[in-house]
Amino acid sequence: MRNILRDVLNVDGMLGRSSALLGAVPELDSIAVTNIIAALEDRFGFVVEEDEINGATFATLGSLVDFVARKKLDAAGAAPEAKL
């Protein structure tokens, strides 16, 4: 996750769970949000619908990590092989 943010935002330095993102990182604009979502979809194999995200999703690194964890669980539950 941190690598995706560093790659998309070109942010150096350490990012922790409580690191503020939206409103605190100037590079995090609407295009960057779209690129992060695309990178997460590619990396983790899930699809993010428009109505699933809002400002709270990108408030902190922790809120984004929690969102990805929920999406991964949802995707695993929806996969037929996950029910075996």
pLDDT at residue 80, rounded to an integer: 55
pTM to 2 decimal places: 0.85
Return the CATH number of the domain spanning residue range 2-83.
1.10.1200.10
pLDDT at residue 1, rounded to an integer: 82
pLDDT at residue 84, rounded to an integer: 39
Contacts within 8 Å (CB) and 24+ apart, 25-32: 28/58, 32/8
pLDDT in tens, 14-59: 788 999 999 999 999 999 999 999 999 999 999 999 999 999 999 9
Predicted confidence band at 81 (pLDDT cuts at 50, 70, 90)?
low
Domain extents in the chain: 2-83
Q: Phi, psi at residue 60, to the nearest 5°?
A: -140, 170
